[in-house]
Amino acid sequence: MGNNKILICDDSILARHQLKDIAKKCGYTAFTEAANGQEAIEAYRLHQPALVFMDIVMPVKDGVEATREIRRFDPKAYIVVVSSVGTQTQLKNAILEGARDFVQKPFTYSAIAEILKGRFEGR
């Protein structure tokens, strides 16, 4: 299957657990977690995951900055932004920085499952 590591970056422990639970139900077991954008950048460099779920509003560095720096390090990075309502401008900026997709919070099982399928099964 190759690299199927998933980096889950969110300052909410609950959101990280929810994402991990959905991914586990879909059969994925390799995870790295980060609680802010700076941790996400460091975790990405260390683990080079195949998929990143990136929250936008976080302490230290936000998701837009983290996306920019990860993409500078690896232009092929596959980053999916997970954002709440009211982050339209940041969302647009994250897409401009190279995020591939986005999911609105509160996210659903099917939305996350679709992204996992798209990334790992080429759908």
In a domain, 113, yes or no: no
Residue ranges of alpha helices (H) inside the chain are 13-25, 37-47, 63-73, 88-96, 109-120
Residue 80 pLDDT grade (very low, low, confident, very high; cuts 50, 70, 90)? very high
In a domain, 61, yes or no: yes
Mean pLDDT of 23-31: 96
For 51, the domain range is: 6-87+99-108
Residue 89 pLDDT grade (very low, low, confident, very high; cuts 50, 70, 90)? confident
Q: How many domains does the chain have?
A: 1
The pLDDT of residue 86 is 66
In a domain, 62, yes or no: yes
In a domain, 38, yes or no: yes
User: What CATH code is carried by the domain that includes residue 13?
Assistant: 3.40.50.2300
In a domain, 79, yes or no: yes
Total-model pTM:
0.94
Judge whether residue 21 has pLDDT over 90: yes
